Structure formats: C-alpha cells, structure tokens
C-alpha cells in the first residue's frame, strides 16, 4: 500500500491549547488536507475525486431524481411532473405534493403485476437454461488441453465483441415463419407446415440465452480452471466414481462461479428491452418495455420512475450479491 | 562466529518510542532502537511481529502513529520515500518487468539527474560488482532467482545509499544458494561501507549476517544484542525458545549469592548450580534454560550431586553431523540432548538405555518468569 | 473421467454451434440475391448487391460515422476515468469514500439499461432546467451516458490487472527517488497498458453497440447506428443489415484472432525465456 496520510492521527490533540480549534479544522477535513499537501500527496485526492464526482453526478444523482419523480404527480407541462415542494402565493405557503399514487397504481394494476411476474419468469428460465448449457461448456474448456483452451475461449469471447443487436437480429432471420429453420425442416421433411417460432416465449428464451451465454461461461470457466485436479484423484482413490466425485467435489467448489454467472445473466435479463422487442410476443410485454412505453408513449414520467424504482428494489438483493462476489474476486486476485 | 567490532560512538539511526497502529491492531509497539554506522542490524521475528512494518517506516512507506525516526540526525517525519537517503531491497525484489536489467539499475540514478554517460558508467560498474556484467540487456523474467536477487541489490546500491534496508533478502533462494549469497552480502557490505538493516524470520540467516540482532515479538523489541549474546544469554523465555532449541525448567531460587545461585526444579532430582549471579528476589520463581548441546550424556553416573539427572533414551534422530536424543527423566520430563557425531564407529547410546545427564555450572541461563 | 468425455465435447460442440450458426447464416444470406431474404437463390448468388446498396445508404453511413465518433470519445473518456478509479481502489488503501466508489463502479455492470437510460435522461432534463446545460439532448448527452457505464467496465479491467501486480513495484520506484506522478507514468502506466488497450476496445464496443441508453438520451439529430439497425430490425429482416453485420463481424473476428495469436506468441516466448534462465544457473 502506498503511504496514506489518512491513517495518521494527529497526536496530543486533546491537551493542545488550541485543541478545540484543531479538532474543528480536522472535522472539516482541513487538518487532513494540510497533511496531504505536506506529504506531497495532494495528487492522490485528485485521482479519487475525478471519477468519484463523475459517478456521483451521473450515476447516483440520477437515481435520486428518479426516486423523487416517482412520488410526483403527472402534469401537462415540460417536464411533465409536479414538483414535490412548491411555493405558492408569492412564497408565503410551502406546498408539498408527496404522493404514493404512482406506486399504488402500479401495485393495483394487473398489467404491471403480470408484467413484473413475466419478466422475472423469463429471466429465471433463461438463467437456468444458460447454466445448463454453459456449465458443461465451461467444464469442457477448463479440462481441455492448454493449447485448445485458448482457442475455445477465443471462440466464446468473439461473439461478445460483435454487435449484440446484430446477433439478436440474426435470430429473426432464423426463426421467421419463412426463415432458415422452418425452410430447413420443411426441406428435410420433418414438418409439413411451418412452425410459429418468432414472437413467442421460446424466441425470447433463445435470444437471452444466446446473448448472455458468454457471461455465464466466463465466470464458470474462471472458477473451474482454478480447481486442483488432485482433489478428484483423491476422491477416486477413496472410492468415489467419477460422477459422484463431480457431485461431491467439483460442483460444490464451483458454486461461486455458478452464482456469479447466474447473477450476470439474471439481473440484466429482467430489464431486457431489445430481445423481447425483436423476438417476443406482442401481447405480453416485459418490464423494460413497459417502462419505456410509459415514458415515451404515455409521457407519464412519474409512473415510469416508479416502475424503475420497483424494478430496482426487486433487483437490489441480486445486485448486492453480485457486488460482494466482485469484491471477493478482486481480493483474491490481489493475493 | 567471530563478533564484529561495532563502533558505538557512531549512531546512524535513532528510533524513539515508535508505535504504529492499523486501526485496532498495534503492529509496532513503542520501539526504541539505535543502529550504528556500518553495521548489519537484523530484525528477527516470526510473521506478524512488526519487523516489516518497522522497516517500511524507515523507508517511508508507513508513517509512525507516534514516536520519531531520525536518520543521520534528521527527523524523517515529513520526508517522503523519494527524498530519503535510504534504499530498500524488496522481498519480492520488485524488479520492473518492462525494463531491462540495466534500465532497472539506472532508474534510481535517472531520478538524480545525472548525465547519461555517468549513469551508464555507474550502472556498468555496479553490474560488474554483482557479477552480472553481461546481463544488462536481459529482462527480469530472463533471469534465474539468484540473478534477480543480485539485480535488486545492484539497483538499491547503485544510488550509494548510506543505509540499505533488506526485506528477507534471501527468502526466495534455495538453501545452497542462500549460504553462498549470505557471505557475498557480507563482503559487499564491508566493501561499500553501507549500513544494513535486514528483516528476516530465519534465525540462521540473522546469526550469520548480523553484527547485532533485534528480536521482535508482538510489535515489541524483546532483546537487542550480538548473535552470541542473543544465543548464550537470552533475556527472556521467548528469546531462549525462539532462537535455537532449549530445555526449560521451572523452579525456585533457594540460594542467591553474588557469585552463584542454586535453584530447585521439581522436574529435576538434583539442584541446579549456576556459577554466575543474577538479580532476583529470594524465593522468586524462575526458569532455567539449558541448550541441548551443552548437556553431556554418559552411561555412568557423573561425580557431584548437582547439575545432573538420570533418564531413559526414548527417541534418537540421526541428523548426519549430530544426533538428537530425547531422554525421559525419572520425573517424566523429556529432555533434548544433541551429541556431535565425532567418530564413525562409536559405541553409540541406543534406545531404552539408562543414561546420566550433566552440565557445566556456567551453562544454564536463569530467566525470571 | 473418460466416460464423460463424449458428453463434455458434445456439449461444447453444441454450444459453439449455437453461438455461431446465427452469425454464419447472416454472413451467407448477405450474399444472397433473392427478394425473399431467407430463401437461398442459387441461380443468381453469390452477389455483392446488398453491399452496394449498403454503401449507397446515406442514413446508415451517417449513423455509422456518428457512432464511430461517440464510441471513440467514450472509450477515451472511460479509460481515463476508469484508470483513475481502478488506481484509487487498488492502490490507495483505505480512504474516505472508498466504499462508495467501489459500489458506484460495480453497480453499472449489472444495472438494467432501461433504468440507467431513464435516470440519465431525467438528470439531463433537471440539469437543463437548473443550469441551461445541456441544451437539449444529442451527441454530448449520449457520450456522457456511455462514458458512465463504460467506465465501470474499464475500472474492473484495470483493477484486476493492477491487483495482479506486486505493489512493491511502485514502492521500489518511490524508494529509488521517483516522485508519485513520475512513478505513475514510468511504472504503473506501462504495466497496465495492456489492460488500458483492452479497456479502450471494450468501452468502444459497448458504446458502438448500445441502443437502449442512447434511445433515452439522444436528440433529434443524433441517431446512432444501433438505433437505425434497431428500427429496421423491428420491421423485419433486411439484407443490407446482413451485409453490415458481415462487415462488422469480419473486422472484429480479424482483430480478435490476430490479437489472440499475438498474445499466444508472446506467452510462449516468455515461457521459453524463463526456462532458459532457470537452466542458465544461479
């Protein structure tokens, strides 16, 4: 660690004659600041301050605004919401219009509840499918010869670098009624009439699994690759058959990778917008679409904000889990 | 080994009541210490004893929570690492992986604003000293462990610091190379006249390198002395136990004269007679420490009624140059005895033999409990 | 172990096929000369007709140029901010606001895009009311939004690279007399350079690809390429988009393949040199 002036505690503050004054200065950070300057570390402050302030202004403040607007009433104006606090009669009366109406509206309307439920279901099913497809793939790559390993990894990462939007779009061409899959099946003679594949739940699952599969495979691979293979030899030596050894040794040890992969798929999938828009049903929207429609089509900013807040609350636990995982990974990388 | 002569008039580092806290944890606890010009001072202790933190405070990477550090009479409190007349050799060597060996060694000189020609000359000289003259253009990953260690040393020494800090300098080397490098380090230090402060957890390393050793435990310096002083006259049970191995007996002072003391230990039948005085209250509880190599083992009973014991050999470990015997006394206490294997075909004492142990009155060290 | 080999390899082959068939089909149909876009017209194909049509499409070209500019600025800004944040988080030890910074740099990684887009738009509207800036939405607001979520990714990349390095490297440089700023430019920056390159490319790709956030914070004259593609794709398949996709896939694939080969080479050379150094004696 670099020398950190913040660790230094000024000695003998209490018995100093100017103790109170110094304590006050320290309270407002001036004491520390002068120490920083004295130690030629003022640059360190700047390094922290720039990204900190940027993220605070463009990430935290926006949420506070969303939070605030979610309690406002819609109004025909620009911006289309009523302020929470307003001075009426030339500043004589402060009017607060804090209302929970938007939340009451969302929670009482079946449309919103079913949309939320549908979004969670789609995300959960897709995450599970991702895991079922991704785990064996990650496992196969982690246990393949080192030379083949980097080739496979490259093949997994490559789609990740190409346009997400275009890759989703590719499925439109495959799943259409006169698309490649139907044409192939018809030509082979497996079916007589084209199947309805596009604009179904199935298409949404495919789209999400397809788009997010690398996010599942990479943390799983990172975990599986680190496993000590002598553990399996020890298990075999103690009489466990390969499948049993997998269940008792490999699977439990890979839980952190499974959790990370699932979170990386589940959280963004809940709010997914592009995939259901291109591949999904028209009669059952997902929550991201509802939010967008409330905002753009209905111009109801307060309800859109309330939808965002509810979605965020629903995702709070997984997001915190993910943050904990991320922190642990970085700590592990450090040692 | 022969003791080096230390010029105690020439104080170089003065550490005054230095404490370092990390939150609740006290890493260094009120340490005061002097290091003299031209000596090799070893800070010896187990992991987490605070020795590395103390070294890092000398280098300027940590600031003391309280207390003062003076180097060459100057208070170091506000001096950042890059302005201190001190260089450090890191445990990991910390060679810059993106620079060649020569560029690594030149880095410090470049910061001094010397001319290119002067830098090249001094880098060349230094690399020759550490016998790496032909390796200047290699990158660190193209070197073996021993070579890397020498580059790290050259990089720190080329700045001609008055004080060199070494953090476990031999820790990453294998055993053979280690012994060789130890003597090289000593030679280099004598040749350049630099003061060394070495941190190590390896007592053998400290014994060979050091002119003086400071033994640390739980953030405190528990004893400072020459290697002989530390080994022969440990000042506490911790030091006696930590350096080498020792047989420790608890007992009570029964006779306390200026020239000798007698101690009765419940685990020993005979009293212990020690031929030097100690300062302790009468009837004080004390410990007697006797090194395993200072105990003589015989088949026949020794003369005299003191400084002796009888027991049965329970374990023998043949170590090549010597053998370790574990003898169970009649009291049930196990005593460790080492005997050099001087002759090849000796009638050696074997398992389950009854033996007598005795030691010279000057051998035991009396420690207060 | 052997008995499961076929299952493992089968799963891998299936997965890779799943990942690549859609891309390959897009490439194939970009050369198809048929009005029925998903039926191969063997008589008149392959053809470059769709590529010609693509390069004659002013709307797409303008949007591509705009996206390119935004992505380049985004990547540069995100690398600068992300490097500072990563440096602070890994190297500065405890400081006030550290936990907050750590949270603010990981949350955008998983934040649903609609929420990020909505909240940023509301911020821009509020800012405009308060300060008059930004006047309407456009390139500037898109870039700010992109930098904000892309820098989170860069921070992670820089953090893991920095964490992999011994911090005594920087201490050694300080010890040898280099001032902190110099240590950063001579030691830290060269060491994390590979992470900065991949961070820049990652941020570029994220920005180049983003449609949801852009839709929220864009203005009338700032339609990015993904927004054009998205609106076209909503209307169904269009062969010139296939052609566009093919070009993009080829560029990316070439880049990824070349860089993988290059890194592999470097690694192999390094291993060889290390081996030689070991046998070279101490």
Q: Where among B197, B222, B240 does a domain terminate?
A: B240
For residue B233, is it within any domain?
Answer: yes
SS3 B50: coil
For residue B3, is it within any domain?
Answer: no
In A113-218, beta strands by DSSP E: none
Query: What is the enclosing helix (H) or strand (E) of B334?
Result: strand B334-340
Q: Can you give the pLDDT at residue C239? A: 81
Q: Can you give the pLDDT at residue A27? A: 47
Query: Residue A173 and residue A181: Cα distance in Å, rounded?
Result: 9
User: What is the CA angle B262-B268-B271, rounded to 5?
Assistant: 20
SS3 B338: strand
CATH code, domain carrying B263: 2.40.50.140
Task: Decide if pLDDT at B61 tops 70.
Answer: yes
Q: Return the structure tokens found at B21.
A: 């806290």
Query: Residue A211 and residue A191: Cα distance in Å, rounded?
Result: 28
In chain C, beta strands by DSSP E: none
Q: Return the structure tokens found at A33.
A: 């600041």
How many independent structural domains does chain B possess? 2
- Tell me whether A242 touches chain C (CB under 8 Å): yes
Q: Can you give the pLDDT at residue C33? A: 75
Q: Are residues B223 and B332 in the same domain?
A: no
A3 Cβ contact partners less than 8 Å away, ≥ 6 residues apart: A39, A41, B60, B61, B62, B63, B80, B81
Digit-coded pLDDT (tens) for B127-164 = 999 989 999 999 999 999 889 999 999 999 999 998 99
Query: A-side interface with B, Cβ within 8 Å?
Result: 1-3, 5, 7-9, 11, 38-40
SS3 B18: strand
Q: Return the structure tokens found at B250.
A: 């608890």
Identify the closest residue of chain B to A1 by CA–CA distance.
B61
Residues in chain C: 282
C264 Cβ contact partners less than 8 Å away, ≥ 6 residues apart: A150
- Cis check for the bond before C46: say yes or no (omega within 30 of 0): yes
Q: Can you give the pLDDT at residue C70? A: 96
B141–chain A nearest CA distance, Å: 20
Q: Do C277 and B147 touch (CB under 8 A)?
A: yes
Domain span holding position B304:
245-367
Task: For the beta carbon of residue B344, count every other beta carbon within 10 angstroms.
Answer: 5
CATH code, domain carrying B114: 3.40.50.300
Query: Residue A216 and residue A265: Cα distance in Å, rounded?
Result: 7
Query: Residue B49 and residue B219: Cα distance in Å, rounded?
Result: 5
Query: Residue A277 and residue A288: Cα distance in Å, rounded?
Result: 10
Q: Can you give the pLDDT at residue A78? A: 66
Q: Return the structure tokens found at B45.
A: 């202790």
**B252-to-A68, B233, B260, B283, B362 alpha-carbon distances in Å:** 78, 20, 14, 6, 18
For residue B5, is it within any domain?
Answer: no
Crossing angle of helices A201-226 and A255-270, rounded to 10°: 150
Number of A–B residue contacts, CB under 8 Å? 24
Contact (Cβ atoms closer than 8 angstroms) between residue C252 and residue A162? yes
Q: Are residues B202 and B329 in the same domain?
A: no
Domain ranges (residues) in chain A: 101-334
Digit-coded pLDDT (tens) for A273-304 = 999 999 998 888 899 999 998 888 888 888 89
Task: For the beta carbon of residue B134, count every other beta carbon within 10 angstroms.
Answer: 10
Q: Can you give the pLDDT at residue C185? A: 92
B263 bridge partner residues: B253, B272
A41–chain B nearest CA distance, Å: 10
pLDDT band, very low/low/confident/very high, at B110 (cuts 50, 70, 90): very high
Task: Decide if pLDDT at A17 tops 70.
Answer: no
Q: Can you give the pLDDT at residue C267? A: 86
Q: Return the structure tokens found at B236.
A: 């506490």
Contact (Cβ atoms closer than 8 angstroms) between residue A102 and residue A291? no
Q: Are residues B334 and B197 in the same domain?
A: no
Identify the closest residue of chain B to A36 by CA–CA distance.
B78
Please name the member of C118, C159, C234 whose beta carbon is closest to the beta carbon of A277. Answer: C234
Task: Decide if pLDDT at B309 tops 90.
Answer: yes
Query: Residue C209 and residue A166: Cα distance in Å, rounded?
Result: 9
Torsion sign over Cα A26, A30, A32, A35: negative
Query: Residue B209 and residue B344: Cα distance in Å, rounded?
Result: 32
Number of A–C residue contacts, CB under 8 Å? 299
The mean predicted confidence, pLDDT, of chain A is 82
Interface test with C, best of A3, A84, A149, A172 (most C CBs within 10 A): A172
- Tell me whether C171 touches chain B (CB under 8 Å): yes
C247–chain A nearest CA distance, Å: 10
Q: Where among B212, B240, B268 does a domain terminate?
A: B240
C12–chain A nearest CA distance, Å: 5
Q: Are residues B205 and B255 in the same domain?
A: no
Q: Can you give the pLDDT at residue B74? A: 92
Q: What is the mean pLDDT of residues A312-320?
A: 89
Query: Residue B322 and residue B292: Cα distance in Å, rounded?
Result: 12
Characterize the bridge pairing of strands B212-217 and B40-44: parallel
Question: Which of C242, C207, C241 is closest to C60 using CA atoms?
Answer: C241
Q: Return the structure tokens found at B252.
A: 């009570």
Please name the member of C166, C182, C276 whose beta carbon is closest to the beta carbon of B94. Answer: C166
Query: Residue C161 and residue C188: Cα distance in Å, rounded?
Result: 10
User: C: neighbours with 3+ CB pairs under 8 Å?
Assistant: A, B
A93 Cβ contact partners less than 8 Å away, ≥ 6 residues apart: A87
Q: Are residues B180 and B284 in the same domain?
A: no
Q: Do B94 and C168 touch (CB under 8 A)?
A: yes
Query: Residue C142 and residue C207: Cα distance in Å, rounded?
Result: 9
Query: B-side interface with A, Cβ within 8 Å?
Result: 21-22, 60-63, 65-66, 78, 80-81
Q: Do C168 and B92 touch (CB under 8 A)?
A: yes
Task: Decide if pLDDT at B349 tops 90.
Answer: no
Output the 3-class SS for C157-178. Answer: HHHHHHHCCCCHHHHHHHHCCC
pLDDT band, very low/low/confident/very high, at B124 (cuts 50, 70, 90): very high
Q: Can you give the pLDDT at residue B257? A: 83
Contact (Cβ atoms closer than 8 angstroms) between residue B352 and residue B292? no
Q: Please, what's the b/e burial string for B102-132 (b: 16 or more CB within 10 A of its CB; e: otherwise)? A: bbbbbbbbbbeeeeeeebeebbeebbebbeb
Identify the closest residue of chain B to C269 by CA–CA distance.
B142
Chain B residues with beta carbon closer than 8 angstroms to that of C173: 96, 107
With left for phi above 0 and alpha for psi between -120 and 50, is residue C223 left, alpha or beta? beta
Query: Residue A226 and residue A325: Cα distance in Å, rounded?
Result: 16
Query: What is the enclosing helix (H) or strand (E) of C265?
Result: helix C239-279
B300–chain A nearest CA distance, Å: 53
Query: Residue A184 and residue A173: Cα distance in Å, rounded?
Result: 13
Query: Residue B167 and residue B169: Cα distance in Å, rounded?
Result: 5
Q: Do A305 and C242 touch (CB under 8 A)?
A: no
pLDDT band, very low/low/confident/very high, at A8 (cuts 50, 70, 90): very low
Interface test with A, best of C3, C14, C37, C38 (most A CBs within 10 A): C38
Query: Residue B119 and residue B102: Cα distance in Å, rounded?
Result: 10
For residue B2, is it within any domain?
Answer: no
Contact (Cβ atoms closer than 8 angstroms) between residue B290 and residue B244? no
Backbone torsions φ then ψ of A54, nearest 5 degrees: -60, -50
Contact (Cβ atoms closer than 8 angstroms) between residue B63 and residue B77? yes
Digit-coded pLDDT (tens) for B151-208 = 999 999 999 998 999 999 988 788 888 888 888 888 888 888 899 999 999 998 899 8
DSSP secondary structure, B92-107, as one string:
T----TTS-HHHHHHH
Query: Residue C125 and residue A66: Cα distance in Å, rounded?
Result: 12
Crossing angle of helices C49-56 and C239-279, rounded to 10°: 100
Q: Are residues B196 and B320 in the same domain?
A: no
Characterize the bridge pairing of strands A85-88 and B74-75: unpaired
Q: Do C91 and A1 touch (CB under 8 A)?
A: yes
- Tell me whether C181 touches chain B (CB under 8 Å): no
Prediction pTM value: 0.84
Q: Are residues B215 and B112 in the same domain?
A: yes
- Tell me whether A330 touches chain C (CB under 8 Å): yes
Q: Do B80 and A39 touch (CB under 8 A)?
A: yes
Q: Return the structure tokens found at A37.
A: 């300057």
Q: What is the mean pLDDT of residues B51-68?
A: 93
Q: Are residues B140 and B251 in the same domain?
A: no
Chain A residues with beta carbon closer than 8 angstroms to that of C129: 79
Q: What is the pLDDT along chain C (282 residues), one digit of tens a residue?
A: 444 578 888 889 999 999 999 999 888 888 887 766 666 777 676 788 888 888 988 889 999 999 999 999 999 999 999 999 999 998 887 888 888 999 899 888 888 899 999 999 999 998 988 888 888 888 999 999 999 999 999 999 999 888 888 888 999 999 999 988 899 999 999 999 999 999 999 999 999 999 999 999 998 888 999 999 998 888 877 788 889 999 998 998 898 889 888 888 888 888 888 888 877 654
pLDDT band, very low/low/confident/very high, at A25 (cuts 50, 70, 90): very low
Chain C residues with beta carbon closer than 8 angstroms to that of B91: 168
Q: What is the mean pLDDT of residues B359-364?
A: 92
Q: Where among B240, B267, B301 does a domain terminate?
A: B240
Q: Can you give the pLDDT at residue C235? A: 82
Q: Do B97 and C282 touch (CB under 8 A)?
A: no
Torsion sign over Cα C194, C200, C203, C207: negative
Q: Are residues B130 and B230 in the same domain?
A: yes
In B72-217, beta strands by DSSP E: 74-75, 86-89, 163-167, 195-200, 212-217
Task: Decide if pLDDT at B19 tops 90.
Answer: yes
Contact (Cβ atoms closer than 8 angstroms) between residue C223 and residue C66? yes
Q: Are residues B218 and B281 in the same domain?
A: no
Chain C residues with beta carbon closer than 8 angstroms to that of A243: 4
Question: Which of C93, B309, C121 is closest to A63 using CA atoms?
Answer: C121
- Tell me whether A172 touches chain C (CB under 8 Å): yes
Could you give the percent of chain B with pLDDT greater than 70? 96
Strands of the sheet containing B285-290, edge to edge, are B272-274, B261-264, B247-256, B285-290, B365-368
Please name the member of B107, B142, B146 whose beta carbon is closest to the beta carbon of C282. Answer: B146
Q: Which fold has domain A101-334?
A: MetI-like fold (1.10.3720)
Q: Do A7 and B66 touch (CB under 8 A)?
A: no
Q: Return the structure tokens found at A101.
A: 């109406």
Q: Do A38 and B78 touch (CB under 8 A)?
A: yes
Q: Can you give the pLDDT at residue A241? A: 86
Chain C residues with beta carbon closer than 8 angstroms to that of A221: none
Q: Do C118 and A291 touch (CB under 8 A)?
A: yes
B80–chain A nearest CA distance, Å: 7
Digit-coded pLDDT (tens) for A221-278 = 999 998 888 888 888 888 888 888 888 989 999 999 999 999 999 999 999 999 999 9
Q: Do B90 and C274 touch (CB under 8 A)?
A: no
Chain A residues with beta carbon closer than 8 angstroms to that of C12: 136-137, 140-141, 152
B167 bridge partner residues: B199
- Tell me whether A322 touches chain C (CB under 8 Å): yes
Identify the closest residue of chain B to A11 by CA–CA distance.
B66
Task: Decide if pLDDT at B220 tops 80.
Answer: yes
Q: Can you give the pLDDT at residue B217? A: 94
Chain A residues with beta carbon closer than 8 angstroms to that of B63: 3, 5, 7-8, 39
In A64-171, beta strands by DSSP E: 85-88, 93-96
User: B: neighbours with 3+ CB pairs under 8 Å?
Assistant: A, C
| Cα distance from N-terminal residue to C-terminal residue, chain B | 30
Q: Return the structure tokens found at B206.
A: 């400290």
| Cα distance from N-terminal residue to C-terminal residue, chain A | 13
Q: Are residues B137 and B270 in the same domain?
A: no
Question: Which of B247, B355, B233 is closest to B294 using CA atoms?
Answer: B247
- Cis check for the bond before A79: say yes or no (omega within 30 of 0): yes
Q: Do B63 and A3 touch (CB under 8 A)?
A: yes
Identify the closest residue of chain A to B22 by CA–CA distance.
A7
Chain B residues with beta carbon closer than 8 angstroms to that of A8: 63, 65
Q: Are residues B118 and B257 in the same domain?
A: no
Q: What is the mean pLDDT of residues B203-231?
A: 93
B83–chain A nearest CA distance, Å: 11
Higher pLDDT, C177 or B8: C177
Q: What is the mean pLDDT of residues A84-113?
A: 74
Q: Can you give the pLDDT at residue B5? A: 61
């Amino acid at each position: 660690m670099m020398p950190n002036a913040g660790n230094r505690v000024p000695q003998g503050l209490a018995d100093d004659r100017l103790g109170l004054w110094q304590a006050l200065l320290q309270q407002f950070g001036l004491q520390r600041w002068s120490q920083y300057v004295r130690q030629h570390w003022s640059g360190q402050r700047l390094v922290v301050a720039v990204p900190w302030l940027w993220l605070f202004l463009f990430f935290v403040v926006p949420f506070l605004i969303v939070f605030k607007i979610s309690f406002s009433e819609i109004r025909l104006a620009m911006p289309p919401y009523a302020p929470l606090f307003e001075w009426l009669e030339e500043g004589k009366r402060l009017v607060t219009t804090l209302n929970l109406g938007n939340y009451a509206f969302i929670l009482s309307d079946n449309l919103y509840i079913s949309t939320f439920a549908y979004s969670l279901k789609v995300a959960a099913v897709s995450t599970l499918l991702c895991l079922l497809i991704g785990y064996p793939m990650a496992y196969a790559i982690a246990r393949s010869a080192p030379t083949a390993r980097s080739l496979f990894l490259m093949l997994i990462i490559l789609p990740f670098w190409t346009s997400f939007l275009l890759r989703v779009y590719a499925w439109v061409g495959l799943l259409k009624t006169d698309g490649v899959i139907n044409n192939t099946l018809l030509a082979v003679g497996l079916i007589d009439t084209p199947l309805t594949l596009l604009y179904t739940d199935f298409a949404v699952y495919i789209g999400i699994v397809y788009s997010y599969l690398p996010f599942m495979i990479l943390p799983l691979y990172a975990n599986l690759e680190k496993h000590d293979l002598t553990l399996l030899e020890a298990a075999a030596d103690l009489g466990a058959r390969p499948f049993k050894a997998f269940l008792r040794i490999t699977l439990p040890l890979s839980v952190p990778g499974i959790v990370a992969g699932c979170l990386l798929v589940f959280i963004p999938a809940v709010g997914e917008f592009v995939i259901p828009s291109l591949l999904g049903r028209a009669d059952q929207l997902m929550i991201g679409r509802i939010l967008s429609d409330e905002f753009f089509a209905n111009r109801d900013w307060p309800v859109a904000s309330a939808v965002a807040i509810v979605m965020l609350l629903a995702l709070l636990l997984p997001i915190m889990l993910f943050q904990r995982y991320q922190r642990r990974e970085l700590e592990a990388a450090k040692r | 080994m022969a003791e080096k002569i230390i010029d105690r008039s020439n104080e170089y580092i003065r550490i005054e009541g230095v404490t370092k806290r990390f939150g609740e944890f006290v890493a260094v606890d009120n340490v005061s210490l002097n290091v003299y010009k031209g000596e090799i001072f070893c800070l010896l202790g187990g992991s987490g004893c605070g020795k590395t933190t103390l070294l890092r405070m000398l280098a300027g990477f940590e600031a003391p929570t309280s207390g003062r550090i003076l180097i060459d009479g100057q208070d170091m409190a506000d001096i950042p690492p890059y302005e201190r007349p001190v260089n450090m050799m890191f445990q990991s060597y910390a060679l810059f992986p993106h620079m060649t060996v020569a560029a690594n060694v030149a880095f410090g000189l470049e910061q001094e604003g010397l001319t290119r020609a002067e830098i090249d000359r001094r880098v060349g000289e230094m690399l020759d000293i550490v016998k790496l003259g032909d390796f200047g253009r290699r990158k660190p990953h193209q070197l073996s462990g021993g070579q890397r260690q020498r580059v790290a040393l050259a990089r720190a020494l080329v700045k001609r610091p008055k004080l060199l800090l070494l953090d476990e300098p031999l820790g990453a080397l294998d055993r053979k190379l280690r012994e060789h490098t130890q003597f090289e380090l000593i030679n280099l230090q004598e040749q350049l006249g630099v003061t060394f402060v070495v941190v190590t957890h390896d007592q053998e390393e400290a014994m060979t390198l050091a002119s003086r050793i400071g033994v640390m435990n739980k953030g405190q310096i528990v004893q400072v002395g020459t290697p002989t002083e530390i080994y022969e006259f440990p000042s506490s049970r911790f030091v006696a136990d930590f350096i080498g191995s020792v047989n420790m007996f608890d007992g009570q002072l029964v006779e306390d004269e200026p020239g000798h003391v007698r101690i009765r230990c419940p685990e020993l039948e005979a009293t212990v007679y020690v031929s030097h005085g100690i300062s302790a209250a009468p009837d004080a509880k004390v410990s007697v420490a006797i090194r395993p190599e200072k105990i003589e083992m015989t088949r026949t009973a020794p003369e005299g009624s003191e400084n002796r014991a009888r027991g049965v050999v329970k374990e023998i470990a043949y170590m090549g140059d010597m053998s370790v015997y574990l003898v169970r006394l009649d009291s049930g206490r196990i005593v460790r005895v080492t005997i050099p294997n001087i002759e090849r075909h000796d009638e050696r004492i074997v398992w389950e033999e009854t033996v007598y142990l005795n030691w010279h009155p000057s051998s035991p060290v009396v420690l207060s409990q | 172990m052997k008995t499961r080999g076929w299952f493992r390899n089968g799963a891998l082959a299936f997965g890779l096929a799943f990942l690549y068939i859609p891309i390959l089909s897009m490439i194939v149909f970009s050369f198809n000369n048929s009005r029925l876009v998903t039926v191969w017209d063997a008589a008149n194909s392959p053809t470059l007709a769709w590529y010609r049509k693509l390069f004659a499409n002013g709307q797409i070209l303008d949007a591509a140029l705009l996206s390119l500019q935004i992505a380049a600025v985004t990547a540069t800004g995100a690398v600068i901010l992300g490097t500072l944040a990563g440096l602070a988080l890994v190297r500065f030890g405890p400081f006030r606001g550290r936990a907050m910074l750590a949270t603010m740099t990981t949350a955008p990684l998983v934040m649903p895009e609609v929420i990020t887009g909505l909240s940023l738009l509301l911020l821009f509207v509020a800012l405009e009311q308060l300060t008059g800036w930004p006047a309407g939405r456009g390139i500037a607001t898109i870039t700010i939004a992109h930098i904000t979520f892309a820098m989170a990714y860069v921070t992670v990349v820089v953090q893991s690279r920095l964490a992999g390095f011994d911090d005594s490297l920087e201490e050694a440089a300080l010890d040898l007399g280099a001032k902190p700023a110099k240590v950063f430019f001579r030691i830290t920056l060269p060491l994390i350079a590979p992470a900065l390159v991949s961070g820049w490319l990652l941020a570029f790709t994220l920005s180049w690809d983003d449609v949801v956030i852009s839709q929220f914070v864009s203005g009338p004259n700032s339609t990015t390429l993904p927004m054009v593609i998205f609106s076209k794709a909503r209307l169904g398949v269009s062969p010139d988009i296939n052609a566009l996709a093919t070009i993009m896939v080829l560029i990316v694939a070439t880049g990824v393949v070349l860089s993988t080969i290059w890194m592999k080479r470097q690694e192999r050379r390094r291993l060889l040199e290390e081996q030689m150094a070991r046998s070279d004696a101490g």
